[in-house]
């Protein structure tokens, strides 16, 4: 009952009206798929914003690591791991990923998925270097095709049935199926990675390794569903991005990875802003399962 109440409050509290006005204007200006110059400009602006944000974040972490952490050289590299190739690859992937989220915050701006393809490729390399083969397969062979499908679907003004292609919540049967898939994929990934890695994926957790495997599986399942439902402009996709961010924060808290905790907290804010924008852009007649709770 809490989740529908949150959506109802977001739709009605005036502090969020800015997001609704912004998205409404973008919807009006983006109905012609051939008139896409402003969409590419928005992607460029969002990329610059992302570079500036990450530059500030890296600069702040450098100051903390250099001047505030104790023991001098002993702490060097505890936040900024330039010696780790996987970590280095993850930086541009994260920069491009934030630009991607900022861009698809507009439900009509399909150019963000071109950034999503580059992000998925870089993250596939990162996870390959980290020997997380489930994520490697997912980003190379699932998420890149998903991004391509999103470009195709979003660049059209109508869906396959001829209806206007705009943000919608899932209907109740699809919601139930989606929740089932979240549980099924999470459990399947937990069992698979435990078998493939012989329980050694998170050796530092010792007896709590199953918690790391569970959160890792939740990262996989939530990102899969988030990317899948984005293809069809379902507002529910942002619920799964929210779950993804929370699972990432939880995983890296128990792993003690301070940089990734900060990074996923940043993702949580960005995904939350995008989710609010999409909720505001969703018309009441497109509430789907939410209409049961919100009249």
Q: What is the pLDDT of residues 162-174, one digit of tens each?
A: 556 789 999 999 9
Residues 128, 182, single domain; the answer is: no
Residue 5 falls within a domain, yes or no? no
Q: Is residue 173 part of a domain?
A: yes
- Tell me: pLDDT of 194 over 80: no
Question: Does one domain contain both 124 and 179?
Answer: no
Same domain, 187 and 258: yes
Q: What is the pLDDT of residue 198?
A: 56
Residues whose CB is less than 8 angstroms from the CB of residue 258 and which lie 6 or more positions away in sequence, other chains included: 78, 79
Q: pTM for the complete prediction?
A: 0.83
Alpha carbons within 13 angstroms on the beta-carbon side of residue 45 total 10
Segment among 54-58, 112-116, 233-237, 256-260 with least mean pLDDT: 256-260
Within 10 angstroms of residue 230's Cβ, the number of other Cβ atoms is 27
On whether both 206 and 273 belong to a single domain, the answer is yes
189 lies in the same domain as 231: yes
For the chain, give the percent of residues with pLDDT over 70: 78
Domain final residue pick, 117, 135, 159: 159
Mean pLDDT of all residues in the chain?
83
pLDDT value at 64 more than 80 = yes
Location of structure tokens 């051939």: 34
Question: End of a domain among 130, 159, 188?
Answer: 159
Taking 70 as the threshold, does the pLDDT of residue 18 lie above it? no
Q: What is the pLDDT of residue 15?
A: 36
Q: What is the pLDDT of residue 131?
A: 84
Q: Is residue 1 very low, low, confident or very high in pLDDT (cuts 50, 70, 90)?
A: very low
**Range of the structural domain that residue 148 is part of:** 38-159
Q: Dig out the tokens for 109 from the structure.
A: 């701006």
Q: What tokens does 252 get?
A: 């890296």
* Domain assignment of residue 19, yes or no: no
The pLDDT of residue 6 is 44
Task: Tell me whether residue 195 is exposed, middle or buried, using C-beta atoms within 10 angstroms of its C-beta: 0 to 12, 13 to 18, 19 or more.
Answer: exposed
For the chain, strand residue ranges (E) read: none
Average pLDDT over residues 15-21: 37
146 and 173 inside one domain: no
- Do 171 and 289 lie in one domain? The reply is yes
Strand (E) or helix (H) holding 129: helix 112-129
- Per the domain annotation, does 88 fall within a domain? yes
Q: Are residues 74 and 148 in the same domain?
A: yes
Out of 77-86, 147-156, 195-204, which region has the weakest mean confidence (pLDDT)? Answer: 195-204
Chain segment 273-290, per-residue pLDDT in tens: 999 999 999 999 999 999
Summarize the confidence of residues 232-243 as an average pLDDT.
Answer: 96
- Distance of alpha carbon 34 from alpha carbon 45, whole angstroms: 20
The answer as to whether 112 is a domain residue is yes
- The answer to whether position 28 is within a domain reads no
Domain count, the chain: 2
Is the pLDDT higher at 164 or at 210? 210
Examine residue 3 and state whether it is found in any structural domain, yes or no: no
For residues 54-79, give the mean pLDDT. Answer: 77
Mean pLDDT of 80-84: 89
* In a shared domain, residues 44 and 132: yes
Answer yes or no: do 230 and 129 share one domain: no
Burial class (CB in 10 A: 0-12, 13-18, 19+), 126: buried
Clarify whether residues 46 and 139 are in a common domain: yes
pLDDT per residue as tens digits for the range 103-153: 999 998 999 999 999 999 999 999 999 888 888 999 999 999 999 999 999
**Which of these three, 137, 159, 181, is where a domain ends?**
159
Verify that 43 and 137 share a domain, yes or no.
yes
pLDDT band of residue 81 (cuts 50, 70, 90) is confident
Binned at pLDDT 50, 70 and 90, residue 207 comes out as low
Mean pLDDT calculated for residue range 165-192: 94
Q: Is residue 248 a part of any domain in this protein? A: yes
């Amino acid at each position: 009952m809490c989740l529908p109440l949150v959506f109802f409050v977001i739709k009605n509290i005036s502090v969020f009206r800015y997001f609704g006005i912004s998205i409404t204007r973008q919807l009006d200006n983006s109905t012609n798929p051939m008139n896409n110059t402003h969409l590419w400009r928005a992607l460029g602006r969002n990329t610059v914003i992302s570079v500036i944000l990450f530059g500030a974040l890296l600069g702040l972490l450098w100051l903390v690591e250099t001047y505030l952490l104790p023991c001098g050289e002993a702490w060097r590299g505890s936040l900024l791991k330039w010696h780790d190739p996987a970590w280095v690859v993850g930086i541009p992937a994260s920069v491009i990923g934030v630009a991607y989220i900022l861009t698809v915050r507009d439900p009509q701006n399909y150019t963000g998925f071109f950034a999503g393809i580059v992000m998925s490729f870089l993250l596939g390399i990162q996870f390959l270097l980290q020997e997380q083969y489930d994520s490697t397969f997912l980003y190379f062979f699932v998420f890149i095709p998903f991004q391509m499908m999103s470009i195709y679907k979003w660049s059209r003004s109508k869906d396959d049935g001829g209806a206007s292609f705009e943000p919608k919540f899932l209907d109740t049967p699809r919601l139930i199926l989606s929740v089932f898939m979240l549980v099924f994929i999470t459990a399947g990934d937990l069992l698979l990675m435990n078998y493939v890695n012989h329980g050694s994926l998170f050796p530092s957790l010792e007896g709590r390794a199953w918690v790391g495997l569970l959160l890792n599986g939740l990262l996989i399942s939530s990102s899969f569903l988030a990317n899948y439902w984005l293809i069809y402009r379902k507002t529910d996709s942002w619920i799964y991005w929210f779950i993804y961010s929370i699972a990432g924060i939880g995983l890296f808290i128990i792993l003690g990875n301070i940089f990734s905790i900060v990074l996923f907290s940043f993702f949580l804010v960005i995904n939350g802003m995008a989710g609010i924008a999409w909720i505001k852009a969703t018309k009441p007649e497109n509430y789907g399962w939410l209409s049961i709770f919100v009249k």
